Amino acid sequence: MLRHMDGVSTVQAYATKNAIVRGKEGIEYILLKGVENDYDFGNLRDFLKNGRWPNFPDSGYSSEIALSAYTANELKLKTGDKVLVYFIQTRERPACGLSPYRGSSRPASRTTTG
C-alpha cells in the first residue's frame, strides 16, 4: 500500500475540475483542485505567497479558493476579492458560484495551474 512505502509521509485524496474564473479584469481557464476539510496544507506552506489556505466550516464545504500568483496577477486580484467560477460540465449548462479569493501560491510544478 502507498501509505507504507518508504519516504511517503501522507496520502490525501483530491478531485480536479476544469473551470473558468472571472476576476476584475478578464477570465482565466484553470484546473481546480478540490480537497476535503481535513486536507493537510502543511506540505504546501512554502508555496503560499500571501493570504491563507481556505478554511472549512465544521459541516459542509468551503466556498474559498486559492489561486496561483500568476492567475491572481492576470485577473488583477487581491486577497479577499470575490471571483466568479464557472465549472465546465459535459452535456450540461455550466454551473457557477461566487468564491472569495483567499491567497496565492507559486506553482509546485509547471503542471499546477490554479
pLDDT tens per residue across span 73-105: 999 999 989 999 998 876 655 555 556 566 555
Cα–Cα distance, 93 to 4 (Å, whole number): 42
The residue behind cell 502543511 is: 42
Cα–Cα distance, 36 to 21 (Å, whole number): 21
In this structure, what DSSP letter does residue 53 have? P
Instruction: Please answer whether residues 77 and 114 qualify as being in contact, where contact means their C-beta atoms are separated by less than 8 angstroms.
Output: no
- Confidence (pLDDT) at 20: 92
What is the average per-residue pLDDT within 15-34? 89
- Confidence (pLDDT) at 98: 58
Instruction: Please answer whether residues 62 and 56 qualify as being in contact, where contact means their C-beta atoms are separated by less than 8 angstroms.
Output: yes
Cα–Cα distance, 52 to 37 (Å, whole number): 15
pTM confidence score: 0.65
